[in-house]
Amino acid sequence: MKGKYLLGGLLTALAGAAIALFAYTSIIEKPAAVITKDSSKIEMPEAKAVLTSYQMQEGQVDFTYAAEQTIHAVVHVRIKTMVSQPDNPLLEWFYGDRYSNKPREVAGYGSGVIISPDGYIITNNHVIEDADNIEVILNDNRKFTAEVIGRDPSTDIALIKIKADNLAYIRYGDSEKLKVGEWVLAVGNPFNLTSTVTAGIVSAKGRNLGIIDSDMPLESYIQTDAALNMGNSGGALVDTKGLLVGITSAIYSPSGAYAGNSFAVPVSIVKKVVDDIRQYGEVQRAIIGVSITNVTSEDAEKQKLDEVKGALITKVIDGGAAADAKLKENDVIIKLDGVPVNSVTELQEQVGKHRPGDKASLTYIRNGKEYTVPITLKNVAGNTSVVTPGMGIGNVFGARFESLGSNDKSSYNVDGGVKIIELNDGLFKDMGLKKGTIIVSINGKKVNNADDIRQATNNNERSLKSIEGITSDGRIFNYKFGN
């Protein structure tokens, strides 16, 4: 198993470019960054002091109101994690305990957004997923220890809370009303600095970057050109009224620093996730019960579409909501509840606003004709019940899993796998597996999320032939069953 150590929240994107998820993490011993002055000798005209009184020209956009409404509601999030180091007997022999496998403290930081006066704070899941301790620093320098209320790896959103009252907070806006070209502000704590405001425009909506490694990832990012850097993750994207329209999460960059494009989770998704966590303790994710892909020009011609848009159904899951509504393979979904969906990403965003049991209208095209049918959305188990903790999409054969974070991968010297975070009656409990067990492969196939386990076993306990992993106390195991 090949070791892989990811420092902080930098993720790799398409074509060799890096997607930087800015929960910047550094070993404590690493020197602080040094800011240097430009020592070039290029001659420049002498700068002149200019008064900066408020004299807005007609048609100019004033960002001061939005900034004043938000900077005190954006916090600095610091995490500490203890990471075990791989054994190196040779170095330990020569240099002693400095090179032993004793856990080392790793620190990281990001941003968060206060959404209520009693201390509920939204941040990114990747900011706090491996944290042993979370400290929140307000803009007035007050410090609090935070507790994790809930996390959703599928959207990269987490909810934490501090014990405080009468806090400044940001109200929700409406990300669906955002238009390309509209001004937005990003507020966060890049490079360990206090609240920093940058401005940009909405460059695009509904971007899918393929950077979330979890069950049923939901990516529909707002793309902007507001400058973001390490430490901005979990910060606020607000409109010119100071209303929250997104949670800043990523940049598209070959170097890991800002290169002109940044991305935020739209508040339409964020609010749903946060409300679910607060009300149920688990995200209530509705599904249609189909496999889908974006429509190509060949698909459009074959399905007699006027435009190349929509989500093409490639498979209908038996017993799912789509099957109940009589949808078929090669149908093209173009609307949900009357909202046009031009791509898979846009459809996922609209479905992501719903809970199991919700009724919706779905519009699709079959053989060139448009139909609209009612549909009752279901959960991953194929029913409309509320999903309680332990029953979520990460639950398989009685065990609930989460994908390994970068620190776990380094600690266990693996490049992937899942960890059992909850164990109920079922196959894995009967096998004697414990909470904290790492599973890296099943039936010879590598697994990185619960859905990989389902696919490797065809979601059938009798199909389990082998399982490889690491016990909670660090022992490697490889079990084989049958012939």
Do 359 and 269 reside in the same domain of the chain? no
- Where among 347, 376, 405 does a domain terminate? 376
pLDDT on residue 91: 56
Q: Could you tell me which residues come within 8 angstroms of residue 58 by beta carbon, excluding any fewer than 6 positions away?
A: none
> Among residues 226, 90, 224, 72, which one has the least CA distance to residue 137?
72
* pLDDT score recorded for residue 84: 62
Specify whether 240 is located in the same domain as 148.
Answer: yes
Q: Quick check: is 110 in a domain?
A: yes
Answer whether residue 34 shows pLDDT above 50. Answer: no
On whether both 149 and 10 belong to a single domain, the answer is: yes
| Alpha carbon distance 408, 13 (integer Å) | 21
222 and 321 both lie in a single domain: no
Catalytic residue among 154, 175, 220, 233: 233
Cβ-based neighbour number of residue 358 at 10 Å: 17
Percent of the chain at pLDDT > 90 equals 46
In a domain, 424, yes or no: yes
Q: Active site residue: 76, 126, 406, 452, which one?
A: 126
Lowest mean pLDDT among 82-91, 134-143, 426-435, 447-456: 82-91
Q: Are residues 197 and 301 in the same domain?
A: no
* Domain total in the chain: 3
Q: Are residues 177 and 147 in the same domain?
A: yes
| CA-CA-CA-CA torsion sign (445, 447, 453, 455) | negative
- Has 111 been annotated as catalytic? no
Task: Pick the catalytic residue from 76, 130, 152, 156.
Answer: 156
Does 126 participate in catalysis according to the annotation? yes
Q: Are residues 186 and 294 in the same domain?
A: no
Whether 38 maps to a domain, the answer reads no
Q: Are 118 and 216 contained in the same domain?
A: yes
pLDDT reported for residue 161: 97
233 noted as active-site residue = yes
Q: Answer yes or no: is 67 within a domain.
A: yes
Q: Are residues 107 and 1 in the same domain?
A: yes
pLDDT in tens, 230-253: 889 999 999 999 999 999 998 877
Per-residue pLDDT reduced to its tens digit, 245-284: 999 998 877 777 777 889 999 999 999 999 999 998 888 9
- Boundary-marking domain end, from 283, 303, 332: 283
* Within-domain flag for 463: yes
How does the average pLDDT of the chain come out, rounded?
81
Q: Tell me, yes or no, whether 309 and 369 share the same domain.
A: yes
Residue 438 inside a domain? The answer is yes
pLDDT reported for residue 135? 96
Ramachandran angles phi, psi of 183, nearest 5°: -75, 140
**Shared-domain flag, residues 346 and 403:** no
CATH number for position 20: 2.40.10.120
Mean pLDDT, residues 306-332: 92
- 57 within domain boundaries: no
Query: What is the rounded CA–CA span in Å between residue 134 and residue 136?
Result: 7
Q: What is the pLDDT of residues 136-161, one digit of tens each?
A: 999 999 999 999 999 998 899 999 99
Non-local CB neighbours of 159 within 8 Å, separated by 6+ positions: 120, 121, 122, 148, 149, 150, 151, 273, 274, 277, 278
Q: Which domain holds residue 312?
A: 290-376
Lowest mean pLDDT among 97-106, 184-193, 281-290: 97-106
Q: Within this chain, do residues 5 and 102 fall inside the same structural domain, yes or no?
A: yes
Q: Examine residue 56 and state whether it is found in any structural domain, yes or no.
A: no
Q: What is the rounded CA–CA span in Å between residue 245 and residue 362?
A: 26
User: Higher-confidence residue: 133 or 87?
Assistant: 133
CATH number, residue 346: 2.30.42.10
More confident residue, 16 or 195: 195
